[in-house]
C-alpha cells in the first residue's frame, strides 16, 4: 500500500499554503506516495483543526505534516497523536513536542530585514504602522519582534500604531482603513504577510492615499504587485519549496534515513529588480532535490 501523508495547514485560502500543499503532493507522487489535505473550513480555527486532527489520526496515516492554527491550543491534540506513534513533521509555525523535524525560516530575521527595506525607502525618517497576524501564530510573533527591532534601531522612525489583519486580505484592508482614519500621515506600512499587504494597498488606493507598503511570503500576487510598483517589496518564504522539503523529510524518516531536527530555508528580499523569478506559476516550478535544500 502506498505511503500516505496527511497535511494540516491553518487554512486553504493563503496562497502560500496552497503552494505548500502542491510541493508536498509533488514530492509524494515522485516517490509513489499520496498526500491528503485537511485545512479547517474556518481559517485558523483551532477547534476545527483539533477535530480534523483526531479524525485523521484515527485513520492511521503514515506521517502527519502539521502547522498549528494555535500552538498553545493544539498542544494537547498533538500530544495525543505523538503518543499514538504517528510521526509528525512541523512546518511554518513552530511548536513544542516530539516532532521529527521543523521546516521553516528565521522569521525574526525576515521581519527585521523587510522592515529595514521599508525604513530605507523613506530615508530613515517618518511615521510607520504595522499590520500583524494573530498572536496565536509563532510566525507573526517572531516577525513582529523583527519589525520592532528594526524600528528601535532607527531613531528617525516613529511607530504610530499596529492593527490585527488575521493574515488575510479583507481583514488586512479593514485594519488599514482603521489606521488611515486615525493617522493623517503614514509613510510606510509593514505587514506580516502578503495577503494583509495587498489588503492594505486596497485600502490606501480606495482612500486616495499613498504609503510605502511591504509584505512577507513572496506569493505570486505580491510579486505581481511589486512589478506594478504598488508593493515596494516582500520576502521570499517559498511555500512550494517548503512543502517539497517537508514531504521529502517525512518520506526519508519513514525509510529510516536521517533528517535534521530543524531545516531553516533561506529567505531573500523580492523587489522590482528580481521579482520576475517569483511570477512563474507554482505548477511550473521544478521539484527541488533534498541535497539542494538541506545541508549535511
For the stretch 75-91, pLDDT in tens is 999 999 999 999 999 99
Q: Is the pLDDT at 136 greater than 90, yes or no?
A: no
- Residue 262, all three cell numbers: 530543524
Q: What is the pLDDT averaged over residues 125-136?
A: 95
Flag whether the pTM goes above 0.85.
Answer: yes
Three-state DSSP class for 256?
A: coil
In tens, the pLDDT along 205-253 reads: 999 999 999 999 999 999 999 999 999 999 998 899 999 999 999 999 9
Q: Is the pLDDT at 1 greater than 90, yes or no?
A: no
Q: Quick one: pLDDT at residue 237?
A: 87
Q: How far apart are CA 282 and CA 253, in angstroms?
A: 26
Q: What is the pLDDT averaged over residues 46-73?
A: 97
- Residue 121, all three cell numbers: 525607502
101-104 β-sheet, strand order: 34-37, 4-8, 63-66, 88-91, 101-104, 262-264
Q: How far apart are CA 174 and CA 176, in angstroms?
A: 5
Three-state DSSP class for 264?
A: strand
Q: What is the pLDDT averaged over residues 248-259?
A: 98
Whether the Cβ atoms of residue 177 and residue 149 lie closer than 8 Å to each other: no
**Residue % of the chain over a pLDDT of 90:** 94
pLDDT class for 40, splitting at 50, 70, 90? very high
Task: Pick the closest to residue 23 from 256, 265, 222, 296 (CA basis).
Answer: 265
Task: Pick the closest to residue 109 from 142, 152, 65, 71 (CA basis).
Answer: 142
Q: Which domains does the chain have, with CATH numbers?
A: 4-105+238-265 (3.40.50.2300), 107-235 (3.40.50.2300)
Q: Quick one: pLDDT at residue 296?
A: 58
In tens, the pLDDT along 172-192 reads: 999 999 999 999 999 999 999
Q: Quick one: pLDDT at residue 295?
A: 78
Amino acid at each position: 500500500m502506498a505511503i500516505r501523508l496527511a497535511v494540516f495547514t491553518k487554512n486553504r485560502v493563503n496562497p502560500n499554503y496552497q503552494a505548500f500543499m502542491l510541493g508536498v503532493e509533488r514530492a509524494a507522487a515522485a516517490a509513489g506516495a499520496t498526500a491528503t489535505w485537511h485545512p479547517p473550513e474556518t481559517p485558523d480555527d483551532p477547534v476545527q483543526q483539533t477535530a480534523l486532527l483526531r479524525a485523521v489520526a484515527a485513520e492511521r496515516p503514515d506521517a502527519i505534516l502539521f502547522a498549528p492554527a494555535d500552538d498553545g491550543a493544539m498542544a494537547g491534540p498533538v500530544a495525543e497523536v505523538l503518543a499514538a506513534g504517528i510521526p509528525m513533521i512541523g512546518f511554518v509555525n513552530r511548536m513544542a513536542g516530539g516532532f521529527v523535524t521543523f521546516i521553516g525560516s528565521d522569521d525574526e530575521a525576515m521581519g527585521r530585514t523587510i522592515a529595514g527595506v521599508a525604513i530605507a525607502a523613506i530615508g530613515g525618517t517618518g511615521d510607520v504602522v504595522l499590520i500583524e497576524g494573530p498572536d496565536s501564530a509563532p510566525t507573526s510573533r517572531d516577525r513582529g519582534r523583527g519589525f520592532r527591532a528594526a524600528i528601535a534601531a532607527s531613531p528617525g522612525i516613529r511607530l504610530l500604531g499596529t492593527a490585527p489583519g488575521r493574515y488575510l486580505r479583507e481583514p488586512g484592508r479593514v485594519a488599514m482603513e482603521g489606521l488611515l482614519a486615525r493617522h493623517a500621515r503614514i509613510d510606510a506600512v509593514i505587514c506580516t504577510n502578503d495577503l494583509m499587504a495587498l489588503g492594505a494597498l486596497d485600502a490606501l488606493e480606495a482612500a486616495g492615499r499613498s504609503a510605502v507598503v511591504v509584505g512577507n511570503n513572496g506569493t505570486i500576487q505580491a510579486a505581481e504587485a511589486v512589478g506594478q510598483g504598488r508593493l515596494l517589496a516582500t520576502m521570499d518564504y517559498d511555500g512550494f519549496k517548503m512543502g517539497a522539503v517537508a514531504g521529502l523529510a517525512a518520506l526519508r524518516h519513514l525509510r529510516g534515513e536521517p533528517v535534521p531536527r530543524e531545516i531553516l530555508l533561506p529567505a531573500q528580499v523580492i523587489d522590482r529588480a528580481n521579482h520576475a523569478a517569483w511570477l512563474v506559476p507554482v505548477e511550473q516550478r521544478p521539484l527541488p532535490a533534498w541535497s539542494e535544500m538541506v545541508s549535511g
